[in-house]
Chain A
Amino acid sequence: MFEFLDFERYDLLGAFWTTVQLTFWSAIGSLIWGTVLAAMRVSPVPVMRAFGTVYVHLFRNIPLTLVIIACAQGLYMALRFSLGGDRPPEIYFRLAILGFIAYTATFVCEALRSGINTVPLGQAEAARALGLRFDQVLTLVVLPQAFRSVVAPLANVLIALTKNTTVAAAIGVAEAALLMKEMIENEAQLFLIAGIFAFGFILLTLPTGLLLGWVSKRVAVKR
């Protein structure tokens, strides 16, 4: 019954490992870029605020699939922009991460901004009364508290990102969804194969949700 599970032919663990890697690098990148975007959107410099707003509204409304395909066909095929990769599989892997970061950062930014709004007014006022500059108010007082209140929303973004990495199949990155496509086309056990991949993703997303849910309760600012 399980003879279709030919690990020589189908690299199941390798595919899910690629999914994990895509998620990991995209998560780190979008956390950083999203924080920068959020800082821009609340900054005193109008050009930065405008850039942040326009960026978020543009990228949040484009389908992720289009972003990823634009990375492959636009950046690489048309412009020969390869992010330092040598061969196509590696190049597409890196470009996919770039696309995920560009897209996911907008959601990190919006989550963070909502977190900034949970910090009581008095905190920022007290910080200003001490004579702190904008960057000090933000990095020393407001953002640390904001981060603690948005662990749960950020966990949702991370789980969505894990699922979204399957879109990389559209440009041929050898991750889980692409392998599933290949397997259900070649083998007869549709339900078993689909079940295995579904189980794989539940295994990836469920602990993330539980762990970060626990973390979010632990670090929440008691008010």
Chain B
Amino acid sequence: MSASSNSPSVLYDAPGPRARVRNAVMAIVFGALLVVLIGWVVMLLDDAGHLTAAKWSPFVTDSRVWTTYLLPGLMTTLKAAFFAIVIALPLGAILGVARLSDHWWIRAPAGAIVEFFRAIPVLLLMLFANEAYAMFTDVARENRPLYAVVTGLVLYNASVLAEVVRAGILSLPRGQSDAAQAIGMRKNQTMRFVLLPQAVTAMLPALVTQLVVIVKDTALGGAVFGLYDLLRQTTLISANYGANIIASMTVVALIYIVLNFLLTSFASWLEGRIRRGKRGTGAVVATDPGELLELETPPKPAPDIRTSGTAGPIDPSGPTLSGEAGNQP
């Protein structure tokens, strides 16, 4: 791609004198708009008294904000997310393999379960689980929010992970199952010894990305069920440190952003490593389960637009349709 080597993007030419002036004017106008917007927000915040040192300093000067509220909240969030993925993964694997079964009476119910739970908002599943625990079990009242949140997340994410597992198995080159058949393995053996182990590698990045979705969804527990997660701490801190709701929300949002950014970066790093890896087939499930949900016929080993000679990417840093970056909304 010689075209893109001397210009930063194929969407515009290397700027000449007039384009440079135009770009500079745009930059200044846009920058000014941003400054005005930020200034307006700061003014509003200041008028409402949310920028005083007293509201922000506890996060730096008072370690109890962290030890009593933020860190335990973060731990609860991580605990819920951890339980959810650990329980959802085996269920998802079973459902995913079942959807690939040769027998329609296994394939059809598995497909119905997966489609059903994916079509329903996770909050509805949590509400249902919460009430079901209250009616039919003797789970202690204070444990119920965690149980409800984890159950809701498991029901939803098992279905999503089933699709990830299915895509992972189907992303492997056909030769793998052909070879296994050729040396006389049964279907069961092919799946257990050849396909599944490789599929696990292929789906690792998608799994980590799904963890981001799960971490974000745990916040529902704090808002609706009174789970003492990271989100809930904003209310508690605000009640104890002089109504600093803006400050505590900002800090909590930053913690979520850093946590999820780390997970996303880890996922892309894993994906790149597997794609380039010398061992294995290089098959990998794109880190965007949202894309997988669409495909009725699961994805072929991604026809990577980046490496094919006929069509080059317009924005080399951008995501491809196979979904290199990003998680589900």
Q: Using a CB–CB distance below 8 Å, which chain A residues touch chain B?
A: 41-42, 44-48, 51, 57-58, 60-66, 69-70, 73-74, 77-81, 103-104, 107, 110, 113-121, 124-125, 128, 133-134, 137-138, 142, 149-150, 152-153, 155-157, 160-161, 163-164, 166-167, 169-170, 176-177, 180-181, 184-185, 190, 194, 197-198, 201-202, 205-206, 213, 223
Is B264 in contact with chain A by the CB < 8 A criterion?
Answer: yes
- Cα of A145 to Cα of B256 in the assembled complex, Å: 36
Could you tell me the distance in whole angstroms from the C-beta of A73 to the nearest C-beta in chain B? 5
| Interface mask (B112-134 → A, CB under 8 Å = 1, otherwise 0) | 00001001111110011001100
Whether B328 pairs with A78 at a CB distance below 8 angstroms is no
Whether B121 pairs with A177 at a CB distance below 8 angstroms is yes
- Cα of A123 to Cα of B325 in the assembled complex, Å: 25
Given A58-B257, A103-B329: 8 more A-B contacts, CB < 8 Å = A48-B30, A57-B261, A65-B222, A65-B231, A66-B256, A107-B329, A121-B311, A190-B135
Whether A65 pairs with B119 at a CB distance below 8 angstroms is no
Known pairs A65-B220, A66-B219; A121 contacts B3 (CB<8 A): yes
Across the interface, A153 reaches (CB within 8 A) one of B120, B128, B294, namely B294
Whether A205 pairs with B119 at a CB distance below 8 angstroms is yes
- Cα of A32 to Cα of B139 in the assembled complex, Å: 46
Known pairs A44-B12, A60-B326, A201-B124; A119 contacts B314 (CB<8 A): yes
Is B212 in contact with chain A by the CB < 8 A criterion?
Answer: yes
Is B252 in contact with chain A by the CB < 8 A criterion?
Answer: yes
Please name all residues of chain A whose beta carbon is closer than 8 Å to the beta carbon of B135 when the two chains form the complex. 190
Could you tell me the distance in whole angstroms from the C-beta of A152 to the nearest C-beta in chain B? 5
Q: Please, which residue of chain B has its CB at the minimum distance from the CB of A223?
A: B311
- Cα of A156 to Cα of B329 in the assembled complex, Å: 9
- Cα of A160 to Cα of B320 in the assembled complex, Å: 20
Please name all residues of chain B whose beta carbon is closer than 8 Å to the beta carbon of A103 when the two chains form the complex. 329
Please name all residues of chain A whose beta carbon is closer than 8 Å to the beta carbon of B121 when the two chains form the complex. 163-164, 166, 177, 201
Whether B319 pairs with A114 at a CB distance below 8 angstroms is yes
| Interface mask (B223-254 → A, CB under 8 Å = 1, otherwise 0) | 11000000100100000000001100100110
Whether B124 pairs with A42 at a CB distance below 8 angstroms is no
Whether A206 pairs with B119 at a CB distance below 8 angstroms is yes
Whether A160 pairs with B26 at a CB distance below 8 angstroms is no
Ordered nearest first, which 3 A-B pairs have the shortest CB separation?
A: A63-B219, A61-B260, A65-B219
Is B27 in contact with chain A by the CB < 8 A criterion?
Answer: yes
A-B contact pairs, 29 of them (CB 8 A): A47-B27, A48-B26, A57-B261, A60-B326, A61-B212, A61-B257, A61-B261, A62-B257, A63-B215, A65-B231, A78-B48, A78-B246, A81-B44, A116-B318, A118-B321, A121-B4, A125-B10, A128-B13, A133-B12, A137-B11, A137-B12, A138-B11, A161-B329, A163-B122, A177-B123, A181-B127, A181-B224, A201-B124, A213-B294
Interface SS of chain B: helix
Is B293 in contact with chain A by the CB < 8 A criterion?
Answer: yes
- Cα of A109 to Cα of B326 in the assembled complex, Å: 11
| Interface mask (B253-270 → A, CB under 8 Å = 1, otherwise 0) | 100110111001000000
Across the interface, A184 reaches (CB within 8 A) one of B3, B131, B234, B329, namely B131
Q: Please, which residue of chain A has its CB at the minimum distance from the CB of B238?
A: A73
- Cα of A29 to Cα of B234 in the assembled complex, Å: 28
Interface residues of B in 298-319 (CB under 8 A from A): 305, 310-315, 318-319
Please name all residues of chain B whose beta carbon is closer than 8 Å to the beta carbon of A194 when the two chains form the complex. 124, 127-128
Q: Using a CB–CB distance below 8 Å, which chain B residues touch chain A?
A: 1, 3-4, 8-13, 15, 19, 23, 26-27, 30-31, 34, 44-45, 48, 50, 116, 119-124, 127-128, 131-132, 135, 212, 215-220, 222-224, 231, 234, 245-246, 249, 252-253, 256-257, 259-261, 264, 290-291, 293-294, 305, 310-315, 318-321, 323, 325-329
Could you tell me the distance in whole angstroms from the C-beta of A171 to the nearest C-beta in chain B? 8
Known pairs A166-B123, A170-B223; A124 contacts B116 (CB<8 A): no
- Cα of A142 to Cα of B11 in the assembled complex, Å: 8
Whether B231 pairs with A69 at a CB distance below 8 angstroms is yes
- Cα of A155 to Cα of B32 in the assembled complex, Å: 36
Please name all residues of chain B whose beta carbon is closer than 8 Å to the beta carbon of A118 when the two chains form the complex. 305, 311, 320-321
Whether B120 pairs with A45 at a CB distance below 8 angstroms is no
Could you tell me the distance in whole angstroms from the C-beta of A46 to the nearest C-beta in chain B? 7
Q: Please, which residue of chain A has its CB at the minimum distance from the CB of B4?
A: A121
Could you tell me the distance in whole angstroms from the C-beta of A139 to the nearest C-beta in chain B? 11
Known pairs A190-B131, A201-B119; A114 contacts B321 (CB<8 A): yes
- Cα of A78 to Cα of B11 in the assembled complex, Å: 43
Whether B314 pairs with A142 at a CB distance below 8 angstroms is yes
Whether A45 pairs with B26 at a CB distance below 8 angstroms is yes
